[in-house]
Amino acid sequence: MLKTMNKILDLSLGALLLTKEKIQKVADECVKRGELGRAEAERLVSELTTKGEEGRARLSELVYGEVRKIVDDLGLATKKDLADLEARLRHPQG
């Protein structure tokens, strides 16, 4: 049982990096060895896949926010800044 729990923990931590197919493969192996029932394995695959997708989304938001903060801190021009400048140069107001 401890071996199964360790595998579940490994799957949970690795869910961010694992595809559904890889999670399914490990779950199927656990079913073949009798460590998990089929229904439990399917529930686990579904849960870990969902958690992985949610984790990837949160990680993406975090990385984007940090990069945005660094760009702002460094005073770098964004695509929007450059587009605004280009528009002003093409159509001067004065």
- The domain segmentation of the chain, as residue ranges, is 2-90
Cβ atoms of 12 and 47 closer than 8 Å: no
Phi, psi for residue 47 in degrees, rounded to 5: -65, -45
Model confidence band, residue 7 (pLDDT cutoffs 50, 70, 90): low
Alpha-carbon separation of residue 83 from 49, 69, 70, 78, 80 (angstroms): 40, 20, 20, 9, 5
Alpha-carbon dihedral sign for residues 28, 29, 32, 37 = negative
45-94 confidence digits (pLDDT tens): 998 888 888 877 887 888 888 888 888 999 999 999 999 999 999 998 86
